[in-house]
Amino acid sequence: MSYALFHADCFDWLREQQPNTVHGVLTDPPYGLIEFSHKELEKLRNGRGGVWRLPPSIGGKTRDPLPRFTILSEREKQNLREYMRDFGLALMPVLAPGSHVIVAGHPMLQFLVQTGMSEAGFEVRGAIMRLYTSFRGGDRPKGAEREFEEVCVTPRSACEPWMLFRKPISERTVAENLRRWGTGGLRRLNKDKPLPEAIPSTRTPDLESSFSNHPCLKPQHILRIMVRTLLPLGQGIILDPFLGSGSSLAAAEAVGYDSIGIELDKDYYQSAKLAIPKLASLYPSCIGESLEPPQSDATNPKQPRNNPIDSTQFSLFN
C-alpha cells in the first residue's frame, strides 16, 4: 500500500482534485479553530498556554495540554459551524457517492460540527463513541474548591464522540452503490460482528507518544478500527485533510489501505513524515478487526516503510 503527504491548505488541495476519487475520510479537525492558529501554536510550543490549558502533573504523571473550549465566544462557535459547512462543501465533490466521513469531536462542540456538515449536504449518521476516561471535566468551581467540595462544574469525561457522516448514495439502493462505487456501507469487524457504536479505548500509549509531539495524538488501536471500517469492500483511498500527527495515515498503512494526508503546519508536516512509518510498524497483528487492545510488540515490529510517495509525484488519481 502507499500513502502521500501534502504540505498545503486542505481547501486549496480539495479544489484541485477530480470528483469521486476519495472513498473515506478519517480526521481530527481543529474544533475551536483558534487553538491551531499560528499564534496559539507558538504559545503552546513555548509552554505559555494561551487557549491551551497546561494542566499540572498528577502523581508524577505529566498531563497533556488541552484546548479550553469553554472560553470560546458565541461568534467563535458559529465560526466553527460555518467552517465545517465550508469544509463539507469543499469535500463533497471529491468523495465518491456513499463515502463515509469520520470526524473526531468534542461533546461541547459536536452539535456545531454536525450542523455545519448537514448544511453542506452530508447525512448525519450518528457517532462512534470512544470509551475512555480522561482528565477532562469533573472540576470543582474554580477558586472555591473547598467551599463546594461536593460540586463539579461538568461531568468527568468517559467518552469521545467520533461523528459519522455519509455523502448521499447516487444509486437506488446501497447494494447498487456498493457495486458501482464500492461505498455506501461500513466494513464489519467480521462476517458475524458489525462495527459497534461504542468502542472501549485507552489513553494513547507512551510508546506511540514518543514518536510525535502533537498534543492530540490518538491511539493506533481505535484509529485502525475506524479506518478499516471506512472501506466496506476493502478497496479505495482514505483521506485525512487535517493530518496533524499522521496517526490516521499510519493506521491506514497498517490496515493495508492507500491514503492521503494534508497538513498546513510545517512543523507537524515534517514530524508526521517521520512518525507515520514508526507508528505503522507497531502491533503487526492489530489491523482493525478486533476490539481487543493490541499487545505491544516493540521488540519485533513490522519493518517501517521509508518511501512515502512525494506529493509532487503522487499519481493515484491518474
Query: Could you tell me if residue 271 is inside a domain?
Result: yes
State the Cα–Cα distance between residues 282 and 206, nearest whole angstrom.
13
Query: Could you tell me if residue 134 is inside a domain?
Result: yes
State the Cα–Cα distance between residues 310 and 43, nearest whole angstrom.
31
Query: Could you tell me if residue 249 is inside a domain?
Result: yes
Cross-strand bridge partners of residue 66: 53
State the Cα–Cα distance between residues 21 and 237, nearest whole angstrom.
8
CATH code for position 106: 3.40.50.150
Query: Could you tell me if residue 107 is inside a domain?
Result: yes
Query: Could you tell me if residue 65 is inside a domain?
Result: yes
Query: Could you tell me if residue 318 is inside a domain?
Result: no
For residue 5, the 8-state DSSP code is E
Query: Could you tell me if residue 299 is inside a domain?
Result: yes
Buried b / exposed e along 43-72 (16+ C-beta atoms within 10 A): bbeeeeebbbeeeeeeeeeeebbbbebeeb
Query: Could you tell me if residue 174 is inside a domain?
Result: yes
Structural domain including 278 reads 3-313
Q: Which DSSP string corresponds to 125-176?
A: EEEEEEE---SSS-PPPTT-TTTTTT--SSPPP-EEEEEEEEPPPSSSSHHH
Please state the domain count of the chain: 1
State the Cα–Cα distance between residues 88 and 118, nearest whole angstrom.
8
State the Cα–Cα distance between residues 48 and 52, nearest whole angstrom.
8
State the Cα–Cα distance between residues 184 and 170, nearest whole angstrom.
9
Per-residue pLDDT of the chain (318 residues; tens, 9 = 90+): 699 999 999 999 999 999 999 999 999 998 655 544 555 546 555 555 554 444 544 445 454 555 555 567 888 888 989 999 999 999 999 999 999 999 999 888 899 999 999 999 999 999 999 998 877 788 899 899 999 999 999 898 899 999 999 999 999 999 999 999 999 999 999 999 999 999 999 999 999 999 998 888 999 999 999 999 999 999 999 999 999 999 999 999 999 999 999 999 999 999 999 999 999 999 999 999 999 998 765 444 555 544 455 443 344 433
Supply the pTM of this predicted model. 0.83
State the Cα–Cα distance between residues 100 and 96, nearest whole angstrom.
9
